[in-house]
């Protein structure tokens, strides 16, 4: 936001939407120049939630930063944990040594996170357009997922569950049964949402043809995730730049070609079903075994060792106080998050803390394309476009 708006004639008015506004999903400030209710110009202004995470990262050890990633996209904390852990593992060169079971647990958590995030997206998107009931239906299912998360790691919002080198602890007894139940139940719930919205005339009126961004524009603006797939681009990092155990799993990438709010809506609805499929397969395929790497200089030793063996205790002190010494070098890793590609660029100079960390946040990049999508629309369409882009300010402003 560096433009100054000038009202050119009497008909025009400038409105500051946000940073305190009920449906700017956090603290987006959106400056719009209106002619009546028609948008003449618009400009998003971000940064109200800037907490300096990238600078924080330069002052804390790799493990210490994990809880911070929870606070990026706080609706999909597990996915952020996952992406960060993968990035650091790539830097450390231990990506291939993660125990299989841990990988499966991570994928289960990530896909549950994707569903949970999409549910919140659907809930708020519908609420913004005025459909209140969908909101509560979605939160009902999300609650189920949060319960499962709580089982696994004790938390309901910021999980800090995935660790560099594995996951914090094994799945608790009964988790997989609960997951099975969820997986069986969930498609019928998605059908319910479809009933409420997909054929609803008002819904169609509010979403079809709104927020158009062409395939080429989507690529040019660097939009990622469901938003690109709604513009007819068949691109998903899970399949196209595979990581973790995704190559072993069978799933489809939903792609729609109308480039509008409605198609982005359909992509996400389908993605939930695909995530459900992935979860089904994970339940089948998850092996037994350890959930954390052993004897690596980059992970903490088991607590029993630390209490009994002096070398383990000594190493632990170094790992905690000075941080794990990553080899010098730089790395970038992008993961397919519910919102799009969440990437971590880490530059290490061999010390216990990164020299520089850059977070590529999908929310920020998707948001930047908003003025393109809003050209010629009405003030009420801002809301549906915001909903369809599905950004979270924790991530956008970092």
Partner 1 sequence: MEKKVKIKINGKEFEVDSEKSILQAARENGIYIPAICYSDRFGAIGACRICAVEIAGMKKPMLSCAAKVKDGMEVTTNSPALDQLRREIIYEWDTFHPLQCGVCDKSGECELQNINYEFNITENPKEAQTDPLSIPQGTIHYEWKIIHHDANLCIQCRRCVAVCDKVVNFGILALVKKDGDRKEIDTKDGKPLDCEFCGQCVSVCPTGAMSSKLFKYKARAWEMEKVPTTCGFCSSGCQMDLNVKNNEILRVTSEEYTPNMANLCNLGRFNYSVSKSDRLIKDYSLNSKTLNQEAMLLELSQILKNTPKEKIFGISGARETHEDNLAFKMFFNNTLSNNNIDSLSSTHIGKLYKYLPQSVNTLYDFSDISDANLIICFGGDIANEMPRIDWSITRGAKLLKTSKVISAYWKDTKIDTLGSIPLRYEPGRELDFLTSFAFALKSEGYGAGLDGLDSLTGSEFDVSSIMEEVKKASNIAFIVCQEALERSNGEEIAKAVSNIALLLKDKIKVYASSKYNNAFGALYNNYGSSNEFSIQRLLEFAKEGKIETLILLNADLFSFLSDNEAKIVRDSVKNIVLFDTFESKTSLIANAIVPVPFFTSQSGTFINAEGRVNKINKAIECNVPCAWEFLFKLSTNLGYNLSSAKLQLKDKKITLNGPADKIYTINTNSSVKGDGEFVFIANYSKFRTSVYSGYGEGAKLAQSQSVLHISKEDAQRIGLNDGDIANIEANGASIALPVKIDEQMPKSVLAAQLWFENTNPYNITGGFNNLVRANLTKAQGGLK
Partner 2 sequence: MIEVIIGIVKLILLVTVLSVYVMYATWYERKVIGHMQQRIGPKRVGPYGLLQPLADTIKSFFKEDVIPARADKPLFWLAPILAPTFPFAAAAAIPFFPPIELSNGTMFYFSVFHSNVDLLYILAMMGLSSFGVMLAGIASGGNKYSYFGAQREIAQVVSYEIILALALLNPILMVQSLNLTDFVTFQQQHLWLIFYQPFAFVAFVIAMVASASRVPFDLPEAENELVAGFNTEFTGLKMAMFFFGQYVTIFVVSALAAIVFLGGWSGPAILPGFVWYWLKVLLFIFMFTWFWGTFPRYRYDQLMDIAWKKLLPLLVLNILWTGFALIVHMPII
Binding site for partner 2 (CB under 8 A): 13, 15, 21-23, 37, 126-133, 136-137, 140, 196-197, 200, 202-203, 205-206, 378-383
**290 touches partner 1 (CB under 8 A):** no
Binding residue (CB under 8 A) for partner 1 from 13, 52, 130, 317: 317
Partner whose footprint covers residue 206, from partner 1, partner 2, none (CB < 5 to 8 Å by kind): partner 2
- 356's CB contacts (< 8 A; 6+ apart) are 54, 58, 345, 346, 347
Peptide bond between residue 19 and the one before it cis (omega within 30 degrees of 0): yes
The secondary structure of 78-142 as a DSSP string is: HHHHHHHHHHHHHHHT-GGGS-HHHHHHHHHHHHHHHHHHHHHHHHHHHHHHT-HHHHHHHHHHH
| Shortest distance (Å) from residue 319 CB to partner 1 | 7
Whose tokens are 């882009």? That residue is: 389
Residue among 298 and 393 whose Cβ is closer to partner 1: 298
Which residues are paired to 342 by β-bridges? 335
CB-CB contact of 109 with 152 (8 Å): yes
Residue among 103 and 301 whose Cβ is closer to partner 1: 301
Partner whose footprint covers residue 295, from partner 2, partner 1, none (CB < 5 to 8 Å by kind): partner 1
Q: Using the CB atoms, write b or e for 179-197: b if 16+ within 10 Å.
A: beebbeebeebbeebeebb
- 210's CB contacts (< 8 A; 6+ apart) are 260, 261, 262, 377, 381, 384, 385
| Sole window of 106-114, 150-158, 273-281, 321-329 interacting with partner 1 (rule: CB under 8 A) | 321-329
| Shortest distance (Å) from residue 54 CB to partner 1 | 22
**304 touches partner 1 (CB under 8 A):** no
Residue among 245 and 383 whose Cβ is closer to partner 2: 383
Residue among 268 and 325 whose Cβ is closer to partner 1: 325
| Shortest distance (Å) from residue 35 CB to partner 2 | 13
| Shortest distance (Å) from residue 34 CB to partner 2 | 9
Partner whose footprint covers residue 126, from partner 2, partner 1, none (CB < 5 to 8 Å by kind): partner 2
Partner whose footprint covers residue 129, from partner 1, partner 2, none (CB < 5 to 8 Å by kind): partner 2
| Shortest distance (Å) from residue 169 CB to partner 1 | 21
Residue among 15 and 60 whose Cβ is closer to partner 2: 15
Q: How many CA atoms lie within 13 A of 109 on its CB side?
A: 35
CA distance linking residue 219 with residue 333, whole number of Å: 19
Structure tokens at 258: 């109308």
Q: What angle do CA 261, 213, 32 make, to 5 degrees?
A: 80
Binding residue (CB under 8 A) for partner 1 from 296, 302, 347, 358: 296
Partner whose footprint covers residue 131, from partner 1, partner 2, none (CB < 5 to 8 Å by kind): partner 2
**220 touches partner 1 (CB under 8 A):** no
Whose tokens are 């409605």? That residue is: 262
């Amino acid at each position: 936001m560096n433009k100054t708006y000038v009202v050119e004639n009497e008909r025009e008015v400038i409105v500051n939407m946000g940073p305190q506004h009920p449906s700017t999903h956090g603290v987006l400030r959106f400056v719009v120049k209106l002619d009546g209710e028609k948008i003449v110009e618009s400009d998003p202004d971000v940064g109200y939630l800037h907490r300096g995470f990238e600078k924080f990262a330069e002052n804390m050890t790799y493990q210490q930063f994990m809880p911070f990633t929870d606070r990026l996209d706080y609706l999909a904390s597990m996915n952020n944990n996952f992406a960060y852990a993968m990035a650091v593992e790539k830097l450390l060169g231990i990506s291939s040594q993660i125990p299989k079971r841990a990988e499966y647990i991570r994928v289960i958590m990530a896909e549950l996170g994707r569903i949970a995030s999409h549910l919140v997206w659907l809930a708020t998107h519908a609420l913004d357009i005025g459909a209140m009931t969908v909101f509560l239906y979605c939160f009902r299912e999300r609650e189920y997922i949060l319960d499962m998360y709580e089982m696994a790691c004790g938390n309901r919002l910021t999980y800090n569950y995935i660790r560099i080198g594995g996951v914090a602890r094994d799945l608790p007894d009964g988790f997989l049964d609960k997951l099975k139940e969820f997986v069986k139940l969930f498609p019928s719930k998605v059908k319910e949402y479809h009933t409420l919205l997909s054929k609803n005339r008002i819904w169609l009126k509010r979403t079809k043809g709104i927020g158009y961004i062409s395939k080429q524009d989507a690529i040019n603006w660097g939009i990622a995730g469901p938003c690109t797939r709604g513009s007819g681009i068949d691109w998903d990092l899970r399949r196209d730049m595979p990581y973790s155990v995704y190559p072993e799993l069978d799933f489809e990438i939903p792609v729609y070609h109308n480039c509008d709010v409605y198609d982005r809506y359909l992509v996400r609805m389908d993605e939930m079903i695909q995530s459900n499929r992935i979860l089904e397969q994970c339940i089948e395929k998850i092996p037994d075994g350890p959930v954390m790497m052993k004897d690596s200089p980059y992970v903490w030793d088991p607590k029993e060792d630390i209490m009994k063996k002096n070398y383990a205790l000594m190493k632990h002190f170094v790992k905690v106080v000075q941080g794990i010494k990553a080899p010098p070098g730089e790395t970038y890793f992008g993961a397919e998050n519910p919102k799009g590609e969440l990437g971590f660029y880490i530059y290490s100079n061999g010390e216990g803390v990164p020299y520089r960390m850059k977070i590529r946040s999908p929310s920020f990049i998707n948001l930047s394309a908003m003025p393109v999508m809003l050209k010629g629309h009405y003030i009420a369409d801002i809301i549906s476009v915001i909903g369809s882009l599905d950004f979270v300010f924790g991530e956008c402003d970092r």
